[in-house]
Amino acid sequence: MGFQLTVTGGADLTVVRRQLRAAGDRRLSQQMARALQRAAKPLQPAVKASALAVLPSGYGPLMSRSVRVRAAARERRGAASVHLTVTARGAVEKRDVNRINAGVLRHPVFGRTRRLRRHAQHRATSKVNPWVAQRVRRGFVDRPADRLGPDVAREMQSVVDWVADTITKG
């Protein structure tokens, strides 16, 4: 799930990114990326706690362990913004964070198999049941993001301001 947080006000992120490219200072660019990631850090434990509280007891701990929050400054059509992306990795593939956040959790039916019809018994005699869609409470990412969003945005804006000041001084 990609939760977008736009940083505005103060030093404009678009101008700062252009100045960074013009200056060619990769070290300062890396420092800005690390500082933006640190600013987003409080969101990860909040989303993990929300997953434990909202999702079913068999799935909440799994989701909580695999949730990651990443911050990245992106530029499209001349306008830059900071995107916070929430992902979760399962044993085989990525978990569908968007769908779970929307209130639908898909999972196989635990512990049940069904016998295959006689003509389908080429290699096996039973098959795992198909997946089911279970309703869960919506917004396990949205609620913490809405609660912490203004603080994270302020912190990210201070990072952008710091980089802008560093560029103008140096």
DSSP state letters, 41-102: TTHHHHHHHHHHHHS-TTTHHHHHHHEEEEEEEEEETTEEEEEEEEEEB-SSSB--HHHHHT
Residues 112 and 76: their CA atoms lie apart, in Å, by 48
* Domain count of the fold of the chain: 1
- Give the domain range for residue 90: 2-95+139-169
Roughly what angle, to the nearest 10 degrees, separates helices 142-169 and 13-23?
Answer: 50
Assigned domain for 46 exists: yes
CB 113 within 8 A of CB 130: no
Q: Mean pLDDT across the chain, nearest whole number?
A: 82
User: Which residues, 6 or more positions from 113, have their beta carbon under 8 angstroms from its beta carbon?
Assistant: 126, 127, 128, 129
CB 28 within 8 A of CB 20: yes
Assigned domain for 103 exists: no
3-state secondary structure of 140: coil
pLDDT tens for the chain, 170 residues long, are 455 566 655 567 888 888 888 878 788 888 888 998 999 999 999 999 999 999 998 889 999 999 998 888 777 766 777 888 888 888 877 889 999 999 999 887 776 666 666 655 566 666 656 788 999 999 999 999 999 988 988 898 888 888 888 888 86
Q: Count of H helices and E strands in the chain?
A: 6, 7
Q: What is the pLDDT of residue 15?
A: 82
Assigned domain for 54 exists: yes
